[in-house]
Amino acid sequence: MKNRYKELRRLILLFLIMFNNIILAQDAGGKTEWFDPATPATTYCNPISIGYNYTTYNHNGIPESRRSSADPVIITYKGEYYLFATNQAGLFWSKDMSDWNFVYGSFQRQPGDDDQCAPAAWVVNDTLFYVGSTWKRDHPIWKTADPKSGRWTRHVDKAMLPTWDPAIFQDDDKKVYMYYGSSGKLPLVGVEVDYNTWLPKGNQADYATLYKATEVEDIQKPYGQIKEVAILNPSAHGWERFGPNNDMEPAPWGNFIEGAWMTKHNGKYYMQYGAPATEFKGYANGVHVGNNPLGPFTYQKHNPMSYKPGGFVIGAGHGNTFADNYGNYWNTGTCKISIKDRFERRIDMFPAGFDKDDVMYSNTSYGDFPIMLPTKLRNHEKGASSGWMLLSYKKPVTVSSSEECMEIETHRMDNGGKKVYEKFCYGADNLTDENIQTYWAAKSNNPGEWIQMDLGRSMEIKALQINYADHKATQFNKAMDIYYQYKIFMSDDAVNWTLVVDKSKNDKDAPHDYLELTKSIKARYIKMENIHNASGLFAISDFRVFGNGLLEKPKAVSSFKVNRNKADSRNAIISWKKQNDAIGYHIYYGITPDKLYNSIMVYGDSSYDFRGLDKSTKYYFTIEAFNENGISVKNKIIEVK
């Protein structure tokens, strides 16, 4: 009997030790069998997962709280990646381009001021330089050798050069150049600057005239050695036209060019620019090519260079191009939400490069599905897709509660100058519609609010993306207590649940939280329970699930046609036969059959009104279908004259 008691005591002690270890493991960071927040990811998913700042109070005259950022610049410095963007009160850094850490470093002077809008950053002579947009002539140029410290010193107190959307570039001969401009009328310009004073080099008499200028048009006009480097030609280039679908001629404020960036490759200079406006789906990056940092430059026949007009993430304009630590190129850009404010935006990033003919491209194909992070030098012409498919599109969702429909001000005016109001509903269908502009909202932000998705059958789940929405948020600017906490469970029968992701102790802000599972799991049902919400009601734009549906890929697309408009060759109607086995389609096009770098993602429809072609340019098109299980074979390439 005594031995039996000893054995029982030993078993109880072992159980207590095991139970304590489980608790400690959970407290140490929410590790489960399928997800470990300490394990580095191998993929990322757009929009880039950073702690996007909330705007200042009454920003642009709009009272609603909302997150926003745009105009990104990512550069490498001492083997790590640094991300600068509009109005973030600091910077983000990462070792792997996936896990971004925030460093506070604000330059805001007054509560309503933009904090370094559309900033420029570049490494010059082993020092990191930084400057924001301004039309003033007395703004400083900042520098640091330790950006993680958040401490910056003034390289010069008064740069004297009035710049908006600036870019900095140092050539191989150590000469330093600045490019700038943001206008519906005027070109982007560039000038060589003196490294020590940051004054323009060249004709000082012309510069004196510039310094005396008071109007924006005069300030941005080229003088002397300040040269025009890029201007739009929308009458020839369809994608450069203003409007929601490149369809507003004449443009009410002009066709906007902005977002200068310079990249040097194989002795050539690639002058990058964004157009035609940040609030439109066709916002893209183009490029002009020259043999000198101040030109003259020639429009690259393959344009836009980076373009993403469809899918969950829409827009790819105004960013920069950088090389990672392995030598692979990437192109950053600005994507739109544009509901609470036309400048309500996020940041995306796509694999890019230069082909054997030195054509600059960016591959946005499946650009809002998981993308492989770099581990070596590779060819980006076919992209860097993980091959994981979207499992959640239009899947049914039940929820704990839903906000009532509301009529809200859109902060737009109709043709008569009156405010436009629209009815917005916050039902569960918005969680899986692949529309970043719609969202579901619970009636509260209380712990225990939940969503539950039915995939329809058991599928292999590899990653999740939770895109929070700012519904009735009260936060403005940065704060230390902005974060989300939740748990995600999975099941085959919606009765017996397994805890797969435990973020109950998370304290890092991630409004577009991307979760790559350390081990895939097969499940039919997914349930998310709220614990803590950053600000406002518990609200999610889309709860996205990625992996493999484990059934058949769709068949090849039939009846594919591209009918180019004879009266206006910038336009074409693309059509095909809709398939029951497909959830969406990818249209590819380019200037030669082997350069189909651009793509358009379409869900559900069987046609697309495309207005992004260049006149007098022959194109080649093909299409493929996709579903939860994979991608069909591409159609035979069509030549379109």
Q: Span 13-37, mean pLDDT? A: 58
Look at residue 440 and give its three-state secondary structure.
strand
**pLDDT for 208:** 58
Query: What are 477-498's pLDDT values in tens digits?
Result: 999 899 999 999 999 999 999 9
Quick one: 275 and 383 in the same domain?
yes
**pLDDT for 214:** 58
Q: Contact, 148 vs 93, CB < 8 A?
A: yes
Look at residue 97 and give its three-state secondary structure.
coil
- Residue 514 sits in a domain whose CATH number is 2.60.120.260
Quick one: 577 and 509 in the same domain?
no
Cβ contacts of 218 within 8 Å, gap of 6 or more: 210
Quick one: 481 and 517 in the same domain?
yes
**pLDDT for 221:** 61
Task: Choose the final residue of a domain: 365, 387, 409.
Answer: 387
Length of the chain: 641
The string over 61-100, giving b where at least 16 C-beta atoms fall within 10 Å of a residue's C-beta and e elsewhere, is ebebbbbbbbbbbbbebeebbbbbbbbbbbbbbbebbbeb
Going by the DSSP 8-state scheme, the letter that residue 16 receives in this structure is: H
Question: What is the number of structural domains in the chain?
Answer: 3
- Entry pTM: 0.92
Residue 619: which of 572, 577, 575, 576 has the closest Cα?
572
Quick one: 584 and 544 in the same domain?
no
Domain of 583?
Answer: 561-640
Quick one: 466 and 536 in the same domain?
yes
**pLDDT for 415:** 65
Question: 522, exposed or middle or buried, with CB in 10 Å at 0-12, 13-18, 19+?
Answer: middle
Asked if the structure places residue 13 within a domain, the reply is no
- Comparing 8 with 242, the larger pLDDT belongs to 242
Q: Span 180-187, mean pLDDT? A: 91
Quick one: 157 and 227 in the same domain?
yes
Quick one: 403 and 368 in the same domain?
no
Q: Contact, 445 vs 484, CB < 8 A?
A: no
Cβ contacts of 26 within 8 Å, gap of 6 or more: 502, 504, 505
Residue 138, pLDDT > 90, answer no
Asked if the structure places residue 25 within a domain, the reply is no
Asked if the structure places residue 34 within a domain, the reply is no
Quick one: 145 and 283 in the same domain?
yes
Residue 337, pLDDT > 50, answer yes
Q: Which two tokens stand for residue 239?
A: 């994608």
Quick one: 112 and 260 in the same domain?
yes
Residue 191: which of 219, 155, 213 has the closest Cα?
219
Residue 28, pLDDT > 50, answer no
Task: Choose the final residue of a domain: 326, 357, 387.
Answer: 387
Cis peptide before 111 (omega within 30 of 0): no
**pLDDT for 48:** 97
CA angle 405, 411, 416 (to 5 degrees): 110
Q: Contact, 133 vs 86, CB < 8 A?
A: no
Asked if the structure places residue 29 within a domain, the reply is no
Q: Span 591-618, mean pLDDT? A: 97
Q: Span 258-280, mean pLDDT? A: 97
Residue 305, pLDDT > 70, answer yes
Asked if the structure places residue 428 within a domain, the reply is yes
Quick one: 498 and 523 in the same domain?
yes
Q: Contact, 399 vs 439, CB < 8 A?
A: no
Quick one: 62 and 93 in the same domain?
yes
Lowest mean pLDDT among 145-149, 180-184, 544-548: 180-184
Query: What are 150-168's pLDDT values in tens digits?
Result: 999 999 998 777 789 999 9
Query: What are 276-291's pLDDT values in tens digits?
Result: 999 999 999 999 999 9
Percent above pLDDT 90 for the chain:
81
Q: Span 176-187, mean pLDDT? A: 92
For residue 111, what pLDDT band results from cuts at 50, 70 and 90?
Answer: confident
- Residue 566 sits in a domain whose CATH number is 2.60.40.10
Residue 5, pLDDT > 70, answer no
**pLDDT for 11:** 46
**pLDDT for 468:** 98
Residue 118: which of 152, 150, 87, 143 has the closest Cα?
87
The string over 525-546, giving b where at least 16 C-beta atoms fall within 10 Å of a residue's C-beta and e elsewhere, is bbbbbbbbbbbbbbbbbbbbbb
Task: Choose the final residue of a domain: 343, 362, 387.
Answer: 387
Query: What are 185-212's pLDDT values in tens digits?
Result: 889 999 999 888 888 887 555 655 655 6
Mean per-residue pLDDT over the chain, rounded: 91
Quick one: 606 and 513 in the same domain?
no
Query: What are 352-399's pLDDT values in tens digits?
Result: 999 999 999 999 999 999 999 999 999 999 999 999 999 999 999 999
Asked if the structure places residue 439 within a domain, the reply is yes
**pLDDT for 17:** 36
Amino acid in the structure at residue 214: T
**pLDDT for 30:** 86
Residue 14, pLDDT > 60, answer no
For residue 311, what pLDDT band results from cuts at 50, 70 and 90?
Answer: very high
Q: Span 78-103, mean pLDDT? A: 97
Q: Span 290-299, mean pLDDT? A: 97
Residue 8, pLDDT > 60, answer no
